[in-house]
Amino acid sequence: MSTIEITKDTFEQTLSGEGIVLLDFWAAWCGPCRAFGPIFEKVSDTHEDIVFGKIDTEAQQELAAMFRITSIPTLMVFRDGIGVFSQAGVLPEPGLEQLISQVRDLDMDDVREQVAKQQAQNGGTQ
């Protein structure tokens, strides 16, 4: 699957389902973003079961602000609607492949339990 453009109108629907979603926050003027873009696109072609979304921080400032994006490119990974990874900077192809393997191997029951504990400690707020 090639990458898809994510907007504030498609964001909720993209993250609401089960499975893995990788989001690349980028901008056209960003040199490192232009270096990471082809890597992200190439890896997306080999993982048809994963959603690879690109969020243009210039056009989607509301989404960038919602996630407090201060440096680009920033890669965020969600599994079953839960954020499991966030990192700014260019990730080389082997690193991106390794990250995908690690996300696939996550015990999501354990992750959900940890999220529930954290929410309970924070007074039940998300």
Residues marked active site are found at: 30, 33
In three-state secondary structure terms, 123 is: coil
**Number of other CB atoms surrounding residue 36 within 10 Å:** 23
What is the spatial distance between Cα 84 and Cα 106, in angstroms, rounded to a whole number? 9
Q: Give the ranges where the chain is alpha helix by DSSP (H).
A: 11-16, 31-44, 61-66, 93-104, 108-121
Give every CB contact of residue 7 below 8 A, 6+ residues apart in sequence. 55, 59, 60, 63
